[in-house]
Chains A and B, each alone.
Chain A
Amino acid sequence: MTAKSAPVPISPPVAAPPGVPAAPARPWRAARRRRRVTAIVIFAIMGVIVIVMLFPFWYMAENSFRNQSQFDQQAGHSLAGWTQLFKELPVVQELVSSTIVCAAAIALILVVATTAGFAFAKLRYRSSGLVFLLIVAAMMVPLQSIIIPEYVNLARFHLVSNYGGAVLVYAALGAPFATFLMATYYRGISDELIEAAVMDGLSYERTFLQIAIPLSLPAIATVTVLQFIQIWDDLLVGYLFLPTNERTITVGLAVLSSGRTTGIPPLMAGSLLSAIPAIVVYLIFQRYLIRGLTLGMGK
């Protein structure tokens, strides 16, 4: 509030000085002080926003180290939340499940997105432009719109009693944007480079493997980070397509929470535990994540 109203009344004089050549020092110093005040006000506002944005992390951490009565009174700490979590939820097995599903789906996404991205960017064939458009447009298909036939199909192929179904669905959901991203990246590689490799006797497939892939590692990293967070954090696909004993940590937590019988501290411990891998990936690869997000806006 104060930030919005503060600059308004003091601003006009900035443009005025030209008519007064005698005292140039004073308005200049005033302007600098004004700028300092503005900076402090902005800093304060941003500090308040940081509290709002990071509070949930603090809340999870603090309340995971409590038992239910300590939670109710919001006082005192213990390890109860964590010990109870490991008792009520097969945490380790769920973390393993999450890792397997993520790794398999990301591997599949990388295979189809790098090959197709390279093909659409460098090895164009008749109506490849239309095919590219159809693949990218699939981004707009909401999972909920197709989830029932998807379930029927996967059940028919016995893929909802193991990791297979969920991995395939995650891969299909991630593929359109990943293909778009890879194609955008490969367009930046010069045609001459590819043609030169082919003239040297490499097949197009080998050129892709030996030249294009090593050049596109940054884009591959972006896809990996983006998809990791997406899949690790997902509930719907894992909930419907994974058998109970192969649930991911996110699904396990949601189901436990919806039962409304588990105390809050273990749920907070579980939340924090499930969030840690994604937070670590975020902190290390923030750059790639942001690039992936903003690439969606480019052409």
Chain B
Amino acid sequence: MSVTADRPARPARRAGRSRLGRRRRRAGLLLSLPAILLVGALLWAPIGQAIRYSMTSWNGYSAPVWIGPSAYTAALKDPIVHRVLENNALLLLAVPVAIGLPLIIAALLNEHVRGWRFFRSAYFLPTAISWVVIGMVALQFFAANGILNRLLADIGLGSVHSDMLASEYSALAALALTFIWSMIGTNTIIFLTGMATLDPSLIEAARVDGLNRWQIFWRVTLPLLTRFIQFAFVITVISAFSALFSLIFVMTGGGPGLGTTTLEFFVYQAGFAQGQFGTGALYGIILFVIMIIVGIGQLRLIRHEDGGGW
């Protein structure tokens, strides 16, 4: 776009242009410098440091002791690390639900029945409140004498009385359920935006062809939403792996045992609760590598989509 805009003026005042060009480039460099410094110093440089720390044994005070890359092989053989990675893998099971439910909700909203704007606002409202607040209410929900058990008693299922936060896997399930609830607003909005971009005549054509609502959703709407579903998938996985610190902190503190300690919480525990800076940094790098894989996956999906004729 900018090339065509420049063209008419260029031959006439070449000298003035190039001086202007130099001024423009200098201004560009100057104006982008603050962002480069901020992001470089506080986000990129620490990655290098973290890699260095990760190969040492260091408590933050005395001199670090160099271990080298064998720190990684040792960590990857550690059964405790396996347990933590297992928690991360189990959390992934929540992702399809955290995408599927909002898809259905968005489809319902997209029918535009009376009051749908109010419903949309209400569903999105929880995205405004903190994980700390969500965790605090979730704690009361799953507690032994909490909301869930009272509800069960009210409908005559008092015998199912559960204390989900008291044992390892059920605590993780409680965490996952809370996470799913929290993602509903964000993902619903993503899908709703996606549905608004669809060409209504396609839906109309499918209806004329005799497809019912359910078939239209599966055969027409869903395939057209692929890009939005990928985006929601990446956001959800990133949140599951790197946004749940506060929820875990408030709801379970990582327990019982290692029941709800995910990689991100493990970094905090090793680094700050136990003062093992080297080990904490190492877990952080493992998390970073997982994120890169998710990110690259997303990039490839997008590029694939672009090649497919947009």
Contact = CB atoms under 8 A, between A and B. Distances in A.
Given A144-B268, A264-B140, A254 B46 contact: no
B291 to A, nearest CB: 6
Interface residues of B, number: 103
A172 B42 contact: yes
B277 interface: yes
B256 interface: no
Interface residues of A, number: 106
Given A42-B108, A264-B140, A271-B133, A11 B128 contact: no
Contacts of A253: 132-133, 136
Most buried by A among B115, B121, B125, B212: B125
Contacts of A45: 108
Interface stretch (A75-83, A216-224, A226-234): A226-234
Q: Which 9 A-B pairs have the closest CB atoms?
A: A123-B28, A233-B130, A116-B35, A204-B27, A172-B42, A11-B212, A149-B49, A15-B210, A146-B46
Given A195-B5, A254-B249, 17 more contacts: A42-B108, A56-B134, A115-B32, A122-B28, A123-B28, A125-B26, A142-B242, A144-B267, A150-B46, A151-B271, A171-B42, A175-B35, A233-B133, A234-B130, A257-B136, A271-B133, A286-B121
Contacts of A296: 231
Nearest to A137: B295
B82 interface: no
A279 B129 contact: yes
Contacts of B29: 119, 125, 128
A208 B281 CA distance: 41
Contacts of B2: 191
The A interface is mostly helix, strand or loop, or mixed, namely helix
Interface string A1-33: 001100110011011000000000000000000
A104 interface: no
Most buried by B among A113, A148, A152, A268: A148
A140 B32 contact: no
B271 to A, nearest CB: 5
26 contacts: A38-B111, A49-B105, A59-B140, A115-B35, A119-B29, A120-B32, A125-B29, A135-B39, A143-B242, A145-B267, A145-B287, A145-B288, A148-B53, A152-B49, A153-B49, A176-B39, A208-B31, A233-B133, A254-B246, A257-B135, A258-B250, A268-B136, A274-B133, A279-B128, A289-B127, A297-B228
A233 B132 contact: yes
B151 to A, nearest CB: 11
B91 interface: no
Interface in B255-281: 263-264, 267-268, 271-272, 277, 280-281
A112 interface: yes
A293 to B, nearest CB: 6
B32 A235 contact: no
A235 B246 contact: yes
Contacts of A264: 140
A7 B216 CA distance: 12
B27 to A, nearest CB: 4
Given A144-B267, A175-B39, A12 B20 contact: no
A126 B47 CA distance: 26
A111 interface: yes
A43 B38 CA distance: 49
Interface of A: 3-4, 7-8, 11-12, 14-15, 38-39, 42-43, 45-46, 49-50, 52-54, 56-57, 59-60, 63, 72, 74, 108, 111-113, 115-116, 118-120, 122-126, 128, 131, 134-135, 138, 140-153, 168-169, 171-173, 175-176, 179, 190-192, 195, 198, 203-205, 208, 229, 232-236, 240, 250, 253-254, 257-258, 264, 267-268, 271, 274-275, 278-279, 281-283, 286, 289-290, 293-294, 296-297
A299 B173 CA distance: 36
A205 B30 contact: yes
Contact of B284 (A43, A128, A148, A191): A148
Interface stretch (B73-81, B155-163, B164-172, B182-190): B182-190
A50 B128 contact: no
Contacts of B184: 53
A15 B208 CA distance: 7
A59 B142 CA distance: 14
Contact of A135 (B6, B25, B36): B36
A297 B190 contact: yes
A54 B32 contact: no
Contact of B271 (A123, A147, A204, A279): A147
Given A11-B212, A149-B281, A191-B2, A59 B137 contact: yes
Contact of A39 (B1, B114, B189): B114
A235 B128 contact: no
Interface in B1-58: 1-2, 5-6, 20, 23-32, 34-36, 38-39, 41-47, 49-50, 53
B109 interface: yes
Contacts of B179: none
